[in-house]
Structure 1
Amino acid sequence: MILLLLVSCKGFLDLEPKSEATDENFWKSQDDAKSAVAGMYALLRVALNGGYGIAHYAYGDLASDEVNSANVDPYHHIVNMNLNLSLASSNTGNAVYLLRRYDDFYKVIDQANRVIKHLNQMENSFFDSEKTKKYFIGEAYFIRSFTYFYLGRIWGGVPILTEATSPIYAVNHESATAEKVMEQSLNDLQEAKKYLDWRNLVNTDFAVRANKGAVFALEAHIGAWTGNYNSTIAAADSIINSEMYFYVSRDSLAYKTIFNGKSSEGIFEISQSATNEGTSVGIGTFTLASPKYHRTISSPRLVTSKTRIDELYNDRNDKRRKFTMDTTINSTFVICNKYSNISYPEEGNNAVPVFKNNIIIFRYSDIVLLKAEALAATNKSSQAIQVLDEVRMMSGLAPWSGNGTLMKAIFDERARELFMEAHRFYDMVRLYRHHGIFEFPASRMTQEQFNRGKYMWPFDPSLLNQNPLLKQTPYWATVGF
């Protein structure tokens, strides 16, 4: 728990790190450094589990075409992109309020800033080797890079903080531009690349802590998000050529190991499947239902219609449909059972479930399909088709037929491959921004609203009140709360 002493709590309400006065008594050994680095991952896990367990999926899935409706308040507002929901000032426990605030992410950034600052000041003699010290610093640069990339996709421009600042110097900060946020992320990533290796310091940390594979995966995604597709190709090739990652069989039980965590396909994940880990409220709470997958919930809180699944997985030979989409429970909705690794510490029908799936951030097939997208975008169609067909054949499908446009075929394949893995919303944004194909339901967002920036989240009004230099994101500044 010592790591909790190193981060602020209410300090980020006005956007500045407020550390406790423990720093001068800390940072005295490798174990101190190790605890502080572990703290970054713990805080990132908290941030991605915000909004009552599904922040990662709320941002990346709920408003996409994967979810038809939500039958629990307030998530139906997120599904329908009513993100300017008016809330009483006292309603600080509302999921929409929590998701419109970035407090938890800046706690991650503060912890990374603190690690970078203090480890650089620690003597090399405190560590088993200089390599260990540098690896820890590389992890901090990666976590800060990832967090800024994550914030940039959600809000566009956000404040950039790169120093661990004492409370006496706390000031408010204005947002940098969206371009500057991605630039900061890339700069941090280049620093991480200097220090990290393909293999983690500890073999069992593979996938759940940063290594060079995670660096290149993030670089591939930043390239795709910003339209720098040559960067995406180069980064994806680094991963593929490393021979560190491999497809998991799409057959039955083997396929589920991807979502349990630490499979051969996992590149970067948030660990919550180990013996002493798990969450009682997670994505499984919203996607599973009884009698097969949950003891107390009779229908999924996030509803995916059978019509949508039949449309997306139009080839019934698709192993992903067969082994992760249960179409047998109900004639109108489908259960996505990717996150059904559940344990019940107690017996009885009312026992609280513990969800034991890792949060899969980047995995091998995701990066392979990003490469296909990048190849198609740079007029290398034959190569793009070859990569696309590699993923299709893994899933029991025939090579692409050539019907329709290649770019849409690639994004459709990503939709099938990465269903409910927090990619689809961002994919739909890229598909329109870079390739002119608009697939958002008009009831949620029109092209005109997209062009005005509705795809970015608003800042909660409480953040604007606490930081007068912070400006509302463009679209939401015009519609009010």
Structure 2
Amino acid sequence: MKTDYKIKYTVQLLSLCFVVVFLNSCSDYLNEQPISQPSNVTFWRNGEDANAAVAGGYSQLRKALNSGLSYYAHGDLGTDYFSTEKELRSDFTDIMKFKLGISVAVTDNWKPMYKVRDFSIFYSAIKQADLCLKHIPEIPKEEFTEYESQYNQYIGEAYFIKAFSYFYMARVWGNVPIIDSSDPDVVDIKNYKREDVAKVLIKATEDCQQAIKHLAWDYNVDTDKVVRANAGAAWALLAHIQAWSGNYAACEAAAGNVINSNFYSYIDRNNYIDIFSGQSRESIFEIAQNSEKEAQAGNGQSLTNYLLRGEYLKTRLNEKETIWQYDLTTLKQTLFDNPNDLRRTKGFAEFSSDWPILLKYSKVMYASPTSPLSINNIVVFRLADIALLQAEAQAAQGKYTEARTTLNSIREKAGLEESNAANDKLFEAVIQERGRELFMEGHRFYDLVRLAREKKVYKFGDSSSNKITPSQFENGKSYWPIQPTLIETNILFTQTEYWKSEAQ
């Protein structure tokens, strides 16, 4: 890869953080405005300041997941969901082919490949959380309207933001820096090296356990529901961390805590799309999209722009093709081969065509007549996800009866018959069910990685190519390279091992 360019790179968060006007919706909660103040003394005064600071952490997390459509680029695009034969019309083509080592000039830093290889924005979220953990305890108790509940909520959310950020980066890049949080006012990741992924996962686990200690199951106000972390979100995160770590007994237990809480319930699959309108009773954690603010700013890399057409997108009203092309073999023969599957009949329009339309993300606003903007929240964790993760954990432990029962409960809701997979194929069957249930929800790539690790079954690629071969997987190709400009500004950084060679 070329490294003959330079970019000024720093992670700078003012210690005063963000001021947020919290009104009556999750969008208003995230309408933060950066301000300048000489010191923390003038900011960390009361519960409202603490609330605003925590909101700043979520805002940074949202920016990280939206940058270059990272949440979907990392989790879905480089998988068997998409064709590499026909998808030649967007800046995401190389991501879909999993050709991640290409050079991108600094003048093209707007391109998705540049953005999705840059993990620095996650450290903005981590630093914001650390500032909360440092300064919220300094606020006098009497400055909170309900000290104990508010204090625990804000502290728990800060730990959750940290845990989620470290876990997300561990899955994508493997080895990443672990910053010293003792003085977050002066943290700059240029002073840190990339730590082993095992240490990063331990750090994510520890922060998640701290979040669980502080968070309650319920929400202070109804508008906070699922767009702010609660105990259920923290347990769901811990279940995913343990699954990724290969600790399936702990994963099963954490998932069980979510399911047995009875705090969440399933949406009728005849109304499947209701989940993606946001804040449904099935959702556990979502990233709220501040639609009005972002619509005004405009967003050329909007999910709707790539997945919709015809009557669902007025900028492509007369077009018969979407920009992104699903792999039709995967879609129609592997995943949604059963015409009775409600996730197929209710989740897609024009499924029989060569260009099916996914309805999960059909909620659109327009920044201008030519700029469509997706305003669906990012549904990060939901009940069906955690149930299938529990089934995966049960299958991995040889608890086939329990795994089959859990798997079939999800299939039944979708209108499908019970799985007839043999016990030795049950783990793979659960992964495939996750591919149906969680289609384009940012999970597929990580599910396929766990399948390859656990069963040596490699389903990367599509009907025309292998995006990651078995030998490439064993050599670490599933971990992303980091943006070369990060290496140029930090002599302690080295490139991800597999991507060091230009030939790869």
- Equivalent AA in structure 1 for residue 450 of structure 2: R
So what's the TM-score if we normalise by structure 1? Answer: 0.91
The answer (yes or no) to whether the contact 1:282–1:355 under 8 Å persists in 2 is yes
Distance 1:105 1:125 in 2: 33
Question: Does structure 2 conserve the Cα–Cα contact (< 8 Å) formed by 1:18 and 1:165?
Answer: no
Q: Separation in 2 of the partners of 1:456 and 1:208?
A: 28
**Displacement after TM superposition at 1:87 (Å):** 2.0
Letter in 2 for 1:478: S
Indicate whether 1:440 and 2:460 are aligned: yes
Q: 2: distance between equivalents of 1:274 and 1:261?
A: 12
Give me the identity figure in percent.
37
Q: Residue 26 of structure 2 aligns with which residue?
A: none
Note the alpha carbon deviations across 1:219-272, whole angstroms, 9 max, x for none. 110111011001111111111111111110110xx2111111101110000112
Distance 1:342-1:93 versus aligned 2 partners, 3 A rule:
closer
1:103 aligns with 2:120: yes
Q: Flag the 1:228–1:12 CA change in 2: closer, same or farther, 3 A.
A: farther
The question of 1:151 aligning with 2:169 is answered yes
Deviation at 1:201, TM superposition (A): 2.1
Distance 2:189 2:432 in 1: 47
The normalised TM-score by structure 2 is 0.87
Asked if 2 retains the 8 angstrom alpha-carbon contact of 1:309 and 1:334, the reply is: no
Root-mean-square deviation (Å): 2.3
Deviation at 1:102, TM superposition (A): 1.1
Q: Does 1:192 find its partner at 2:211? A: yes
Matched AA of 2:359: N
Partner in structure 1 of residue 485 of structure 2: 462
Counterpart CA distance in 2 for 1:424 and 1:309 is: 13
**How has the CA–CA distance of structure 1 residues 170 and 18 changed in structure 2, closer, same or farther, with 3 Å as cutoff?**
farther
Q: Any conservation in 1 of the 2:80–2:327 contact (CA below 8 Å)? A: no
Q: Could you tell me how far 1:22 is from its partner in structure 2? A: 3.7
**Partner amino acid for 1:341?**
K
Matched position secondary structure for 1:333 = coil
**Matching residue of 2:347:** 324
When residues 184 and 124 of structure 1 are mapped into structure 2, their CA distance, relative to the original with a 3 A threshold, is same
Residue ranges of structure 2 left out of the alignment (5+ in a row): 1-6, 16-35
Amino acid in structure 1 at the alignment position of 2:63: V
Contact 2:179/2:189, CA 8 A, preserved across alignment? no
* Distance of aligned partners of 1:480 and 1:34 in 2 relative to their CA distance in 1, 3 Å threshold: farther
Query: 1:171 deviation in Å?
Result: 5.4
Counterpart for residue 130 of structure 2: 113
Q: Does 1:477 align with 2:500?
A: yes
Q: Deviations over 1:285-339 (max 9, x none)?
A: 21111234443373222211433321111111001011112235x7322221210
The answer to whether 1:417 aligns with 2:437 is yes
Q: Does the CA-based 8 Å contact 2:166-2:204 persist in structure 1? A: yes
State which of 10, 13, 27 in structure 1 corresponds to 2:9.
13
8 A Cα contact 1:17 1:167, kept in partner: no
Number of the residue aligned with 2:251? 232
- Mean Cα deviation higher: 206-215 or 444-453: 444-453
- Per the alignment, residue 450 of structure 2 pairs with 430
- Write out per-residue CA displacement over residues 65-98 of structure 1, whole angstroms, 9 at most, x where no aligned residue: 1111333332000000111111223322221111
Q: Could you tell me how far 1:282 is from its partner in structure 2? A: 2.5
Q: In terms of mean alpha carbon deviation, does 206-215 or 129-138 score higher? A: 129-138
AA aligned to 2:469 is T
Question: Hey, what does 1:6 align to over in structure 2?
Answer: none
TM superposition shift of 1:17: 5.6
Give the secondary-structure state (helix, strand or coil) at the position aligned to 1:360: strand
Match of 2:30 in 1: none
Distance verdict in 2 for CA 1:89–1:358, change over 3 Å: closer
**1:279-318 superposed matches below 5 A:** 280=299, 281-296=301-316, 298=319, 299-311=321-333, 312-318=335-341
Partner AA of 2:155 in structure 1? I
Aligned-residue offset at 1:465: 0.6
* Pairing partner for 2:385 from 356, 366, 377: 366
Q: Distance in 2 between matches of 1:356 and 1:310?
A: 27
Distance (whole Å) between structure 2 residues aligned to residue 310 and residue 353 of structure 1: 28
The separation in 1 between residues aligned to 2:341 and 2:196, in whole angstroms, is 42
Q: What is the aligned residue count? A: 464
| Partner residue, 1:38 | 55
Distance in 2 between residues matched to 1:162 and 1:121, nearest whole Å? 20
State the partner residue of 2:28.
none
Equivalent pair of 1:12/1:106 in contact (CA under 8 Å): no
> Pick from 60, 79, 88: which aligns with 1:64?
79
Decide whether the 8 Å contact of 2:249 with 2:393 is kept in 1: yes
Which secondary structure state, in structure 1, belongs to the residue aligned with residue 77 of structure 2?
coil
- In the alignment, the residues of structure 2 paired with residue 383 and residue 125 of structure 1 have an alpha-carbon distance, to the nearest angstrom, of 50
Distance verdict in 2 for CA 1:261–1:172, change over 3 Å? same
> What is the CA–CA distance in structure 1 between the aligned matches of 2:62 and 2:245, rounded to whole Å?
26
Give 1:355 deviation, angstroms.
2.3
Counterpart selection for 1:334 from 337, 352, 356:
356
TM-fit CA distance, 1:460: 1.1
Q: Which moved more, 1:104-113 or 1:128-137?
A: 128-137
Give the corresponding residue for 2:226: 207
Whole-angstrom distance in 1 between the partners of 2:350 and 2:64: 32
- Does structure 2 conserve the Cα–Cα contact (< 8 Å) formed by 1:155 and 1:473? yes
> How far apart are the structure 2 equivalents of 1:320 and 1:170?
43
Deviation at 1:409, TM superposition (A): 1.0
Give, in angstroms, the shift of residue 381 of structure 1. Answer: 0.1
2:272 matches 1:272 = no
CA distance in 2, matches of 1:305, 1:115: 44
Q: Would you say the 8 A contact 1:459–1:472 is kept in 2?
A: yes
Instruction: Find the counterpart in structure 2 of residue 3 from structure 1.
Output: none
Moved more, 267-276 or 94-103: 267-276
Equivalent residue for 2:238?
A: 219
Secondary structure in 1 matching 2:194: coil
AA aligned opposite 2:93: H
Distance (whole Å) between structure 2 residues aligned to residue 234 and residue 395 of structure 1: 25
Q: How big is each residue's C-alpha offset from its partner over 1:19-56, in whole Å with a ceiling of 9 and x where there is no partner?
A: 474423210111111111111111111111101xx110
